[in-house]
Structure 1
Amino acid sequence: MLLAAALLVPLAPAPASAQRGKISLVRDAETEELLRDYAKPIFRAAGIASSEPQIILVNDKAFNAFVPDSRRMFINVGVLMEAETPGEVIGVIAHESGHIAGRHLVRVRAAASNAAVMSVIGMLLGAGAVAAGAAAGSGGVTQGGVAATLGAGSIGQRSLLAYQRGEESAADRAALKYLEATGQSARGMLKTFERMAEQQLFSSRYADPYAQSHPMARERFSALENEAQKSKFFNKAEDPVFQYRHDMVRAKLRAYTSHPKAVARAYPRSDKSLPAQYARAIAAMKSRGKGAVPDIDKLIRQHPNNAYFHELKGQALLEGGNPKAAIAPFRRALSIKPNEPQFMVWLGYALVGANNPANLPEAERVLKQAIQRDPNSGVAYSQLAIAHSRQGERAEADLATAKGLMVRGDFAGAKRYAARAQQNLKRGSPSWLQADDIVSYQPPQLDRGR
């Protein structure tokens, strides 16, 4: 049995309900950028760069990833947290890209090809897969922080797609080919697969969920190892820039998903490395809110052009109850990376939260720009709804709320708000038609007879 895979994180969870279970997607600009950079050369080598599957992070510490169709690749935060090197994550992405390129996804592809992200997740949940979830912040959502509340189960602990062992081997061979074509070592992939093979020595009670869904016999690993060692790139060192970015993201995810005491043990004050400072600053933000600003300012003084440090400062101020002060660091982050939609969401959130009517037109504009670039941000829609409402635009607020509920998988709630919006929108107008699309939407169903 195989749950084909690869995992995604603004650090902020976007909680979602989908049919029978609750999950949380993690949104983080820094982590998503790193995963895209890992994946781009692999996607090109696999011949899937034109469609460029979207990588989506799931708030689950299990080492697992899966691809429900050719357009989306889901990766648990556990993959990044457990992997010590970039090559281990790249190997997972390469293996799952092999499933996409090999068209191994026939069971759900037809149903999922035109579905929104949460519709796909809803189908997975309906088929027996449930992911971990978390919520924090205003209205159960933060745009920057990883969640801590678990759902009914874990995608990493269940298997949905039944592939033949031949397809697994084909994905293995394809992954080696992609790594060779991109001049990368397969050592990281071997390390991941060796762990999976070793898990077979333990009882299923203690087996790694990824190993359970990706059977890895010792003979199969040996064959893969022999083939990988033939590559002239096998002993090539990890890219130091990737390794640094990986260590930063790993520290970030650990800090967001762990208790501050656990962070202190993993990154003691004696550790002066930047990842350790980053983790401690995030842990301080979680426990002290704006009281962590001095720790974050130390990071900014060392690297004033690191947009993610400014983002963290803005988050600390926002969650510490000072949205007005958060506006400036979010503006700074956006000035460094002007096309990052998650920074736009943060800025819009702070502008709305400052409760100054003069900020609302800008908040509306920034949030709409964010949605154009990233239509899957439930936080953007919720803040846009508030901005519309405070400007007396009731129908627009209802429509934005409906769109946000669609993103989160609450289709019934979305239909109610869309129907209410229609009552106050001009019939046939673009907004009325958007509302009508929501009212008439029917989530695709997974064909279980195949």
Structure 2
Amino acid sequence: MSATMPYPYPYPYPFPAPLLRLVRAVAALLLAMALVARPAMAQQILRDAETEAFLADASAPLVQAAGLAPGNVQVLLINDPEINAFVAGGQIVWIHSGLFTAADNLNQVQGVVAHELGHIEGGHIIRSGEGMKAATGITLLSLVLGAAVMAAGGGEAGMGVMAAGQQAAMGKYLAFSRTQEASADAAGARYLSKAGISGKGSIAFMQKLQNLEYRLAIPQDDGYARTHPLTGERIAIMREAYEPDAAWNAKTPPEMEARFQRIKAKLFGFVSDPQQTLRIYPESDQTIPAHYARAYAWHKSAYPDKALAETDALLRAAPHDPYFLELRGQVLLESGRPADAIPPLREAVRTTGSQPLIAVLLGHALIATEDPKNFAEAEAVLRSAVNKDRENPFAWYQLGVIYEHRGDMPRAALATAESRAMMGDYPVALRSAEAAMAGLKEGTTDYLRAQDIAMVARSELDATKKKKKGK
């Protein structure tokens, strides 16, 4: 019960004050269970062409071992320093940047991905409602029984019934969650074995988490109040499964491990404080990962010359590496030199077969020159990008700039509608979609797309109004 809701009773509260406090506590309990079941998605998604290609390659054997279609499963990063990963609907595994940078090697990350795929195959996100339903039933039943006891004059006894029900409800939900986690551990072990990937990384990463728990003084002897089984118990069970397995001594392919280490350094440079990056990857370190990390650190610190020097070192080692070229183009573009950014970005796009994220960067550079001669190429690469990856608001924004420049206001409005709808700005999305429909020929592909956006935006706005009225 929300304190902001109007009360349909003559007295401000229909319950005695002690009971009201307990009802509020139960509401908080149910909210807590909902938050456990559905992780928040407020973090920033980290889109990077190289990282996404690598995660797809690294997870493909596990996805196949899980009996899932590789094309339907995505492994993506979010900018969050916590050591965590989760699935939240669909077939997407979300890995926190903190987990990726904390991992020592690819094998550890693959162990995490295998576990999360176990949640997907088991339908745990969908079935989490079962655990919540059971817990809610216990809570509501205890409220009814407690209220009956209190009505009969047993105030303290009634409160005790409700408090016991509240504890039982949370215990029921946590037990359900622990069962799912244990199931995902077992499934992950099967996938790793079937894919011929060692479980050593899974155990090593769990030991890393256990050491973190020790440092944070998290109790290791009470599994009842946890969403996961005790870490020590999980490690013991994993050893039983992994050590006898034929893949126990399997080695990660050197080229895959090298890709992991350079992407880990790249990510560290992007998300960490530049001074911390320079401590971890000092100038004395002349490896590829170190150059990658320092390039981002110097770029974030507004030292473009030093950042470009690091990209030069990378390109001396691999002159045609598309991701090194992409980084050089990004540094030049964001340092106010868009014309100079175009050649490396063009080569990166060509080498990757018009990878959409890199193509959007090239389109941005072409537009940023403010030279109308570059706009036709910009439109071509941006159209190609959104045809391959429509879920890129910035690409649509850039296309809108092109359309507006040439006076095509209906398609500029459509591009704005696409962009704002993806960002959840439904009022602007609806107005822009309606403006596009007013200027487009009815029945054309663009008209129908604007119509779809308007329909979705209107539906979302209506749903929001109904929620507000219900409060």
Coarse TM-score class (shorter-chain normalised): 0.7 to 0.9
Name the stretch that deviates more: 47-56 or 387-396. Answer: 47-56
1:35 has 2:55 as partner? yes
Q: State the percentage of identical aligned residues.
A: 36
Aligned to 2:186: 173
Aligned to 2:101: 81
CA distance in 2, matches of 1:5, 1:191: 27
1:269 has 2:289 as partner? no
The structure 2 residue matched to 1:238, chosen from 224, 237, 252, is 252
- The question of whether the paired residues in 2 share the 8 Å contact of 1:268 and 1:276 is answered with yes
Supply the AA of the counterpart residue of 1:230. P
Secondary structure in structure 2 of the residue aligned to 1:284: helix
Per-residue CA distance 1:357-396 (angstroms, 9 max, x = gap): 1211211111111111111111111111111111111111
Secondary structure in structure 2 of the residue aligned to 1:56: strand
- The question of whether the paired residues in 1 share the 8 Å contact of 2:375 and 2:402 is answered with yes
Secondary structure in structure 1 of the residue aligned to 2:394: helix
Aligned to 2:437: 422
The structure 2 residue matched to 1:254, chosen from 258, 268, 279, is 268
Q: CA deviation at 1:277?
A: 1.4
Secondary structure in structure 1 of the residue aligned to 2:46: strand
The structure 1 residue matched to 2:359, chosen from 333, 344, 347, is 344
Closer, same or farther in 2 for the Cα pair 1:347/1:51, shift >3 Å? closer
TM value normalised by structure 1: 0.78
The structure 2 residue matched to 1:63, chosen from 73, 83, 99, is 83
Q: CA deviation at 1:311?
A: 0.4
Q: CA deviation at 1:108?
A: 7.9
Alignment of 1:40-55 (within 5 A): 40-49=60-69, 52-55=72-75
Q: Which has the higher helix share?
A: 2
Name the stretch that deviates more: 360-369 or 412-421. Answer: 412-421
1:432 has 2:447 as partner? yes
Aligned to 1:94: 114
Aligned to 2:197: 184
Alignment of 1:358-369 (within 5 A): 358-369=373-384
Closer, same or farther in 2 for the Cα pair 1:217/1:284, shift >3 Å? closer
Aligned to 1:278: 292
Aligned to 1:304: 319
Secondary structure in structure 2 of the residue aligned to 1:310: helix
Secondary structure in structure 2 of the residue aligned to 1:338: coil
Closer, same or farther in 2 for the Cα pair 1:41/1:394, shift >3 Å? same
Secondary structure in structure 1 of the residue aligned to 2:76: strand
Aligned to 1:357: 372
Secondary structure in structure 1 of the residue aligned to 2:202: helix
Q: CA deviation at 1:281?
A: 1.8
Unaligned runs of 5+ in 2: 1-32, 130-172, 220-224, 464-471
1:324 has 2:324 as partner? no
- The question of whether the paired residues in 1 share the 8 Å contact of 2:43 and 2:80 is answered with no
Supply the AA of the counterpart residue of 2:417. A
Aligned to 1:397: 412
Secondary structure in structure 2 of the residue aligned to 1:440: helix
Aligned to 2:421: 406
Supply the AA of the counterpart residue of 1:311. E
Q: CA deviation at 1:265?
A: 0.6
The structure 1 residue matched to 2:328, chosen from 304, 313, 317, is 313
Closer, same or farther in 2 for the Cα pair 1:314/1:5, shift >3 Å? farther
- The question of whether the paired residues in 1 share the 8 Å contact of 2:182 and 2:229 is answered with no
Name the stretch that deviates more: 434-443 or 262-271. Answer: 434-443
- The question of whether the paired residues in 1 share the 8 Å contact of 2:177 and 2:228 is answered with no
CA distance in 1, matches of 2:67, 2:110: 16
Supply the AA of the counterpart residue of 1:78. G
Aligned to 2:136: none
Matched pairs, number: 378
Per-residue CA distance 1:317-338 (angstroms, 9 max, x = gap): 1001111111111011112211
- The question of whether the paired residues in 2 share the 8 Å contact of 1:185 and 1:235 is answered with yes
Supply the AA of the counterpart residue of 1:45. A
- The question of whether the paired residues in 2 share the 8 Å contact of 1:378 and 1:405 is answered with yes
User: Which is bigger in relative contact order (C-alpha 8 A, separation at least 6)?
Assistant: 1
Unaligned runs of 5+ in 1: 7-19, 110-159, 206-210, 446-450
Aligned to 2:3: none
Aligned to 2:167: none
Supply the AA of the counterpart residue of 1:188. G
Closer, same or farther in 2 for the Cα pair 1:364/1:96, shift >3 Å? same
Supply the AA of the counterpart residue of 1:384. L
1:373 has 2:388 as partner? yes
Secondary structure in structure 2 of the residue aligned to 1:231: coil
Closer, same or farther in 2 for the Cα pair 1:214/1:36, shift >3 Å? farther
Supply the AA of the counterpart residue of 1:35. L
Instruction: Tell me how large the CA RMSD over aligned residues is.
Output: 2.8
CA distance in 1, matches of 2:73, 2:187: 17
Q: CA deviation at 1:166?
A: 2.3
Name the stretch that deviates more: 309-318 or 373-382. Answer: 373-382
Supply the AA of the counterpart residue of 1:171. A
Closer, same or farther in 2 for the Cα pair 1:180/1:21, shift >3 Å? closer
CA distance in 1, matches of 2:226, 2:360: 38
Q: CA deviation at 1:235?
A: 2.5
Q: CA deviation at 1:260?
A: 1.9
The structure 1 residue matched to 2:403, chosen from 357, 369, 388, is 388
- The question of whether the paired residues in 2 share the 8 Å contact of 1:5 and 1:96 is answered with no
CA distance in 2, matches of 1:215, 1:5: 19
Supply the AA of the counterpart residue of 1:233. A
Supply the AA of the counterpart residue of 1:168. E
Supply the AA of the counterpart residue of 2:271. T
Aligned to 1:223: 237
